[in-house]
Structure 1
Amino acid sequence: MAGKIIANERGIALLVTLAVTAILIVASLEMNRRMRTAVFSAAAARDRITLLQMASAGIHAAQAILVQDKNNSDSDSLQEDWADPDKISVVLQDMPLKEGTVKVAISDELGKIQANSLVKFPQGRDFNEPQRLLWDRFLRSFVAGNEDLEETEPETIINSLKDWLDSGDDEAITGLSGAESDYYRDLDPPYACRNGPLPHISELALVNGMTPELFEGSGQIPGISSYTTVYGMTAAAGSAFTYEGKININTADLPVLAALLPFGEEGLAEAIYEYRQEVSDEVYIHDLAKPNWYKDVPGLSDVKIDPDLITTSSDIFRIESVAKLNKMKMTITAVIKREKSAQTGKWGCKVLHWQAE
């Protein structure tokens, strides 16, 4: 009898020991998991901070390139260093990176159609007629031959955009196809008309007549959001502002070049585009300093682009800096404006928009 009790006690002790051991193993594994998670989280946080600094450094390097360019030339074109990925890479090589990579791309924001210039500011009431004609050519050319956009009505979009921008919300809509706040309040969900300049290009998608296919694009075809911008505000008298809407013909993409040309001459846009890029012995051969250089392009000597629509200089640029480190990536997009300091007389860059993702 005594032997059975002793045996039972030993069995219980063994079970207790096994249970305690199992608990200790589970606790150890859980502690190990938590420690590894903490280490990985700390490493990821460290890498995110490092990526932010790397991408920010790329933005600052791009600003330095743009300031140097402004000091060297009053005109801006795709022939310059800021538009050359290889030359930007050479500048980035001077960054003291122990590991990881940074790539930077710079584009001219004023090579796009400035949506806010459709209306004459600071009054903010009437059409800017050259811009209205530009938008008409732009949309009709964009829609032509695209089955996804065959029901798009350019006049509706133009009139509705004018109503969205102008300050006359209590007056009659523009033409027969415009839209003021009453129209938008009846939608589901409802929203109000801006009655002022667009703060972000995404708001253009809210305008009556604008479809996702037209704004964002479809398939491999980009939408008009790729060729339009909300930037370009300049000072007017006193504290007022305006949007001149002049497009840099040296940097504009094909759809914008086509819209600048008179009706029936859209096909000459490609000739302008190629003329800007012609080189001999790796040196650009055409001078693009004056806005009317396009008349030297074969076939365009008798063509006239409205001088109120074009320029050859820009001071607003979009910079995209992409940093990669340990299989992680961070992209910073900044829109900057080159400005001359009133105190020092030196050029610098003012950040208009900054987004990290």
Structure 2
Amino acid sequence: CRPRARRKALVLVVVLVVVTSLSLGALAFSLLMVGEREVAQAAGRRIQALALAESGIEAARQLLGEQPDARSPDGTWFENAERFQGVLILDGETPQDRGRFSIVAADGGEMRFGLECESSKLNLNTILQEGGDAAAARQRLMVLPDMTEEIADAILDWIDADDEQREFGAEADYYQSLDVPYRPSNGPLRCLEELLLVRGVTPQLLYGADRNRNGLIDADESALDAQPGWVRFLTLFSRESNLNPDGEPKIDLNQDDAETLYAQLCEAFDEEWAVFIVGYRQQEELYEDEETPPAEQNPPAGEESDSNRQRDENEEEEEEIEYQDRPAGQLDLTKPLNQKLDSPLDLIGRKIKVNYQESEKAAVVSPLFADQSEAMREYLPKLFELATTEGENPPAGRINLNLAPIEVLSGVPDVDASLAEEIVARRPAAPALASPHHRHPTWLLIDGVVPLDKMKALLPRLTAGGCVYRAQAVGFFDEGGAVIRLAVVIDAGESPPRIVSVQDMTPFGRGFDLPGLGAQP
């Protein structure tokens, strides 16, 4: 009996072991399935958060399709909480089910719900296309915090097309001598992070104390060096479009067809403007007065002093000339257009000498575009809004004087520190507050900040517009779940607006607290 009893006991033990093993296996399988379910749910929430952030990018593109230029009158691209803060995309009964997006800009160290205009920054990819010597290009970089001549020249050597080393720079020989050798691009930068390959450039210089790359110095970062990084001042993408407010090409004042130019000017402005501008361009030589005595300079708009008339009549005694305060005649539009305008500013304060079809006399017309502040406040915004001398593609890389930080303005050629300070002090606080004359850089001339000659020198370097924008699109839930943060650059100079680049900033952290983004409990 005892052996049989032992066998029964052994069978019982085996059964218990098998049952326990099966139970443990079932438990492990159950835990594995629960874990897989949680992973799948987390992945699903992440995909949803990504879709929310991408919805924000599409919302930004939609707004820019309506207002592509930074000089848009209402300036809603700059700050627009209604369209960019906590916009509900996924609705649900619980906070965990409600998904939203926010579009955040943080230029200037302050958070707002809107976009950044890239024309407020120094474009590294155009810095060598603007003319000037090596010292001038270096000086534009020297205004950046903690910049040195060695690093500035190394950056310029990295992006120039040759292998000739600048005074303090570094070319292929240096980079090939490193433990892990590589070659400089000798061409345009593809992203700002590429600067970290340049000799002397460090993450601290490029990003400053902003470890989570949200554009702000957060409380946990303020203990570090709070100096802003160079990314706040640099871009690779700024440009402008040459379209009028209706989205149509501006009138090219330098086009070759006189009849087309005249017709376009009549439609956009009036016949007087058309006659004066076409007449200016038809002159074989620009009409010049002799130096006017100081007491007789700058007569009132539309008036010609008696002494000026007498002097002109004496000079032209061999030619019968009629003097006019305003254009009054029809031009022969078959005549060639001999003169080119460097900018519309060339028209200011100028007389023209023309020959009308119905008259044998030449006519000298007094300045139609007076060199007086109130007159310029009226005609310059209209002229620059509808006409251009730059063709279809204005120069890339011009600095938006209404938005650029003082460090960037100080680096613009012909802008010294005092002028940069005055620009910052007198410009509108936000695009929505800009008056019509502030929507063009010529407000410096209108408001008496600079004289005409200085304005002509600054015009190729400054703008009040721009059509490329940057922002961070954040997709999130009201409570819990993933948060996805995408840095996006959008070119609104094309229709529809084109996404230039998207960078996932999520690995650097959430960046913003949910209530601040617009999460609702």
Relative to the length of structure 2, the TM-score reads 0.54
Alignment of 1:241-252 (within 5 A): 244-252=396-404
Secondary structure of residue in 1 paired with 2:33: helix
Aligned residue for 1:187, secondary structure, equals coil
Q: CA offsets, 1:57-112, max 9 Å, x none?
A: 11000111111113xx67259x611111413337935x454412211122112211
Displacement, 1:295?
5.8
Match of residue 146 from structure 1: none
Q: Counterpart of 2:139?
A: 136
CA distance in 1, matches of 2:238, 2:134: 14
Equivalent residue number for residue 354 of structure 1: 502
Matched, 1:48 2:50: no
Residues 26 and 309 of structure 1: CA distance in aligned 2, closer, same or farther (over 3 Å): same
| CA–CA separation in structure 2 for the residues paired with 1:25 and 1:284 | 72
Q: Is the 8 A contact 1:51 1:330 kept in 2?
A: yes
Partner of 1:100: 99
Question: Post-superposition shift, 1:185?
Answer: 1.0
When the two chains are superposed, the root-mean-square deviation of aligned CA atoms in Å is 3.3
CA distance in structure 1 between the aligned counterparts of 2:134 and 2:50, rounded to whole angstroms: 39
Could you tell me whether the CA contact under 8 Å between 2:102 and 2:473 is conserved in 1? yes
- State the SS of the aligned residue for 1:43: helix
1:88 paired residue number: 83
Whole-Å separation in 2 of the counterparts to 1:317 and 1:132: 30
CA distance in 2, matches of 1:202, 1:183: 20
Q: Using the alignment, how far apart are the partners of 1:329 and 1:253 within structure 2?
A: 31
Other structure's SS at 2:459 match: coil
**Residues 151-210 of structure 1: per-residue CA shift (max 9 Å, x gap):** x523x33333332222222xx323x22322122211232210111111111122323343
Secondary structure of the residue aligned to 1:321 is: strand
Aligned equivalents of 1:229, 1:131: Cα separation in 2: 20
Output aligned runs, 1:1-357, within 5 Å: 2=1, 4-70=2-68, 75=71, 80-89=75-84, 92-93=87-88, 95=89, 97-98=91-92, 99-105=98-104, 106-120=115-129, 128-129=131-132, 133=136, 136-139=139-142, 141-143=143-145, 149=146, 152-154=147-149, 156-169=150-163, 172-174=164-166, 176-218=167-209, 219-232=225-238, 244-260=396-412, 262-265=415-418, 268=421, 272=424, 275-277=427-429, 284=433, 286-287=435-436, 288-294=438-444, 300=449, 306-325=458-477, 326-340=480-494, 347-356=495-504, 357=506
SS in 2 for 1:339: coil
Asked whether the 8 Å contact 2:119–2:238 carries over to 1, the reply is: yes
What is the deviation of 1:30?
A: 0.7
Q: In the alignment, is the contact (CA less than 8 A) between 2:468 and 2:493 conserved in 1?
A: no
* Deviation for aligned residue 1:22: 1.2
- Which residue identity does 1:348 align to in structure 2? P
User: Hey, which of these two has a bigger chunk of helix by percent?
Assistant: 1
Q: Percent identity?
A: 23
Provide the secondary structure at the position in 2 that maps to 1:276.
coil
CA distance in 2 between partners of 1:18 and 1:62 (Å): 65
Whether the 8 Å contact between 2:239 and 2:398 is mirrored in structure 1 is no
SS in structure 2 at match of 1:336: strand
Tell me, in whole angstroms, the C-alpha distance in 2 between the residues paired with 1:83 and 1:74: 8
Structure 1 partner of 2:389? none
Measured in 1, the distance between the counterparts of 2:417 and 2:409 equals: 13
Q: 1:297 to 1:22 in 2, by over 3 A?
A: farther
- Matches of 1:13 and 1:310, distance apart in 2: 93
Cα-to-partner distance string for 1:19-55 (whole Å, 9 max, x where unaligned): 1221122011111111102211221222122122211
Aligned CA distance change for structure 1 residues 164 and 89 (closer, same or farther; 3 Å)? closer
Alpha-carbon distance between aligned partners in 2 of 1:214 and 1:290, rounded to the nearest angstrom: 33
1:58 is aligned with what amino acid? G
Q: Return the alpha-carbon distance in structure 2 between the equivalents of residues 8 and 352 of structure 1.
A: 80
Distance of 2:156 and 2:190 partners within structure 1 = 15
Query: Which position in structure 2 is the counterpart of 1:238?
Result: none
Matches of 2:421 and 2:447, distance apart in 1: 9
* Residues in 1 aligned to 2:402 and 2:231: alpha-carbon distance in whole angstroms: 20
Residue 173 of structure 1 aligns to a residue whose secondary structure is: coil
Determine the structure 1 residue equivalent to 2:285.
none
Cα drift, residue 290 of structure 1? 1.4
Q: Is the 8 A contact 1:161 1:207 kept in 2?
A: yes
Structure 1, 22-31 or 186-195: larger mean CA deviation: 186-195
Q: 1:110 & 1:297 partners in 2: Cα distance?
A: 22
Structure 1 residues 211, 89: CA separation in 2 closer, same or farther (over 3 Å shift)? closer
- The alignment covers a number of residue pairs equal to 317
Structure 2 contact 138–153 (Cα < 8 Å) conserved: no
How far 1:130 moved relative to its partner? 8.6
Q: Deviations over 1:249-307 (max 9, x none)?
A: 222234223434733427716x616742179xxx7264421113246779x45786822
CA distance in 2, matches of 1:353, 1:29: 47
- For 1:348 and 1:266, the matched residues in 2 are separated by 38
Counting strand residues as a fraction of each chain, which structure ranks higher? 1
Q: Which runs of 5 or more structure 1 residues have no equivalent in the other structure?
A: 121-126, 144-148, 236-240, 341-346
Asked if structure 2 preserves the Cα contact closer than 8 Å seen for 1:272 and 1:297, the reply is no
Q: Is the 8 A contact 1:103 1:321 kept in 2?
A: yes
On the 8 A contact 1:131/1:309 being kept in 2, the answer is no
For the 8 Å contact 2:401–2:464, the answer to whether it is kept is yes
